[in-house]
Chains A and B, each alone.
Chain A
């Protein structure tokens, strides 16, 4: 069974940093592009960043502040979030796939507040 398990969320002040991690299992991690997708409270879904064979890509709202990376040896996905803003408050999901989101983690809460 494919599983994704996020960790590293929490409460941080505006301007602060946080690093999210995602442990993958049940599939050949290195074969797939991986994304981070977020959902602000009461809102819809927004992709944040993706990493695949062709490189890394970011949504306009986080480009220059967030960095996505992966460790294929340990089946881990990361999201380094810098210069956090109140509007970055959301549940962050680790997601498998490039053209679709085939498997989702349970989500991790990130709250940016003074």
Chain B
């Protein structure tokens, strides 16, 4: 299963909004309600930020939001803060218990 496609990097200034895309196919993102997003700071384990396309786990800031259209999902970070600088990964659950991840996007706060 090929990885989902994410931009290598996205940057923004504090207070701005940025959007990270995650492009798949009709066999994964396009056919799944189980799209998730993870944040990973250097040297740390990933942390779940969004699940089932739009839902935030308890404790995750409402500055993070998710959406999906067709074969592409998106993560938007509003009111960008220095602590948001990290790598972000999307994932999609497909058949046969396959959990395919995106290649990751490095977010830089200018």
| B73-110 at interface with A (beta carbon < 8 Å) | 89, 91, 93, 96-104
Most chain A CB inside 10 Å of its own CB: which residue of B38, B46, B96: B46
Please report the number of residue pairs spanning A and B whose Cβ atoms sit closer than 8 angstroms.
Answer: 61
Q: How far is the CB of A69 from chain B (nearest CB, A)?
A: 15
Judge whether A11 is part of the interface by a CB distance below 8 angstroms. Answer: no
Question: Are the C-beta atoms of B98 and A102 separated by less than 8 Å?
Answer: no
Question: Are the C-beta atoms of A44 and B102 separated by less than 8 Å?
Answer: yes
Give the number of residues in A that approach B within 8 Å (Cβ atoms). 22
Give the number of residues in B that approach A within 8 Å (Cβ atoms). 23
| A35-64 at interface with B (beta carbon < 8 Å) | 35, 37, 44-47, 50, 52, 54, 57
Judge whether A105 is part of the interface by a CB distance below 8 angstroms. Answer: yes
Name the B residues within 8 Å of A46 (CB-CB). Answer: 101
Question: Are the C-beta atoms of A101 and B36 separated by less than 8 Å?
Answer: yes
Residue of B nearest to A104 (CB): B45
Stretch binding the partner chain, chosen from A19-27, A73-81, A92-100: A92-100
Residue of A nearest to B89 (CB): A45
Name the A residues within 8 Å of B97 (CB-CB). Answer: 33, 50, 52, 54, 57, 98
Question: Are the C-beta atoms of A102 and B51 separated by less than 8 Å?
Answer: yes
A44-B89, A45-B89, A106-B45 known; A100 vs B98 contact (CB < 8 Å): no
Name the B residues within 8 Å of A50 (CB-CB). Answer: 97, 99
Q: How far is the CB of A29 from chain B (nearest CB, A)?
A: 18
A44-B3, A44-B102, A47-B101 known; A100 vs B34 contact (CB < 8 Å): yes
Question: Are the C-beta atoms of A99 and B96 separated by less than 8 Å?
Answer: no
Cα–Cα, bound, A62→B97 (Å): 15
Residue of A nearest to B44 (CB): A106
